[in-house]
Amino acid sequence: MLFDFHTHSFFSDGELSPIELIRRAHVNGYTVIGVTDHASMSNLDLIIYNVVKDCALAEKYWGIKAIPGVELTHVPAGYIDQAAGYAKKSGIKLVVVHGETIVEPVEPGTNCAALMSTYVDVIAHPGFISPEECSLAAKNNIFLELSARGGHSLSNGHVAQVALAKNAKLLVNSDAHAPKDLLTFDFARKVASGAGISTAQINDVLIENPKLLLKRINC
Binding site for Zn ion (CB under 5 A): 71, 98, 124, 175
Task: Name the residue nearer to Zn ion (CB basis): 124 or 197.
Answer: 124
Task: Name the residue nearer to Zn ion (CB basis): 54 or 71.
Answer: 71
Query: Which whole-number Å values give the CA distances from 51 to 54, 124, 146, 181, 204, in the listed order?
Result: 5, 20, 24, 20, 29
In the complex, least distance from residue 71 CB atom to Zn ion, rounded to whole angstroms: 5
Q: Which DSSP helix (H) or strand (E) runs through 147?
A: strand 143-147
In the complex, least distance from residue 20 CB atom to Zn ion, rounded to whole angstroms: 18
**What are all long-range contacts of 83-86, with beta carbons under 8 Å and residues at least 24 apart?**
83/39, 83/40, 83/41, 83/44, 84/114, 84/117, 84/119, 84/120, 85/117, 85/119, 86/44
C-alpha–C-alpha distance, residues 38 and 17, integer Å: 14
Task: Name the residue nearer to Zn ion (CB basis): 62 or 179.
Answer: 179
Residue with the CB atom nearest Zn ion in the bound state: 98
Task: Name the residue nearer to Zn ion (CB basis): 71 or 100.
Answer: 71
In the complex, least distance from residue 88 CB atom to Zn ion, rounded to whole angstroms: 19
Task: Name the residue nearer to Zn ion (CB basis): 108 or 199.
Answer: 108
In the complex, least distance from residue 22 CB atom to Zn ion, rounded to whole angstroms: 16
- Which of 48, 136, 194, 186 lies closest to 126 in space, CA to CA? 136
Whats the size of the chain, residue-wise? 219
Find out whether 54 and 66 touch, Cβ atoms under 8 Å.
yes
In the complex, least distance from residue 63 CB atom to Zn ion, rounded to whole angstroms: 25
In the complex, least distance from residue 200 CB atom to Zn ion, rounded to whole angstroms: 29
Task: Name the residue nearer to Zn ion (CB basis): 100 or 175.
Answer: 175
Beta bridge mates, 70 = 37, 95
Q: What amino acid occupies position 195?
A: A
